Amino acid sequence: MQFLETTVNSAGSMITLVLPMLIVIVFFYLILYLPQKRQEKKDAEMRNSIDVGDEVTTIGGVVGRVASIKDDTFVLETTSDRVKIRFRRSAISSVEKLDINVKKDSKDVKDDSAKKEAAKKDAAPLKK
């Protein structure tokens, strides 16, 4: 009987030692590892989405427009003198997409507001 009591006590003390360690490991996994993986995935997505004409900032601070893209490298045009420098995609710090649709969108807004005005006039009750 005494043997069973010691086994139960040692098993209970083993759980009290291992459980806090497991909680700490899970905590570090959730707080440190998962956000880092999400950020890496987001960065890889950004690097793979560059197109010719996008404005790019490199990790070295060089800013310019993408002139051409080949596999894992791209050529960056930096100044009005058209200086071209070749970089790897991994050197991209941030990308600002070239927005071609800005003029089109502003025109659509004007068209929509004109349509709304016409609809208001048509929907207004006639005064007699």
pLDDT tens digits along 107-120: 554 555 555 555 54
Which is more confident, 76 or 127? 76
Contact between residue 75 and residue 85 where contact means Cβ atoms under 8 Å apart: yes
Which is more confident, 76 or 15? 76
Delimit the domains of the chain by residue range: 1-48, 51-96
Q: Is the pLDDT of residue 123 over 70?
A: no
Which is more confident, 8 or 43? 43
Q: Is the pLDDT of residue 121 over 90?
A: no
* Mean pLDDT value of segment 11-24: 85
From 24-33, 36-45, 49-58, 90-99, the region with the lowest mean pLDDT? 90-99
Q: Is the pLDDT of residue 55 over 70?
A: yes
Pairing of strands 84-88, 73-77: antiparallel
Q: Supply the mean pLDDT for the chain.
A: 79
Rounded CA gap, 43 and 52, in Å? Answer: 18
* Mean pLDDT value of segment 14-38: 91
Rounded CA gap, 109 and 92, in Å? Answer: 34
At 100 the pLDDT is: 63
Rounded CA gap, 65 and 112, in Å? Answer: 34
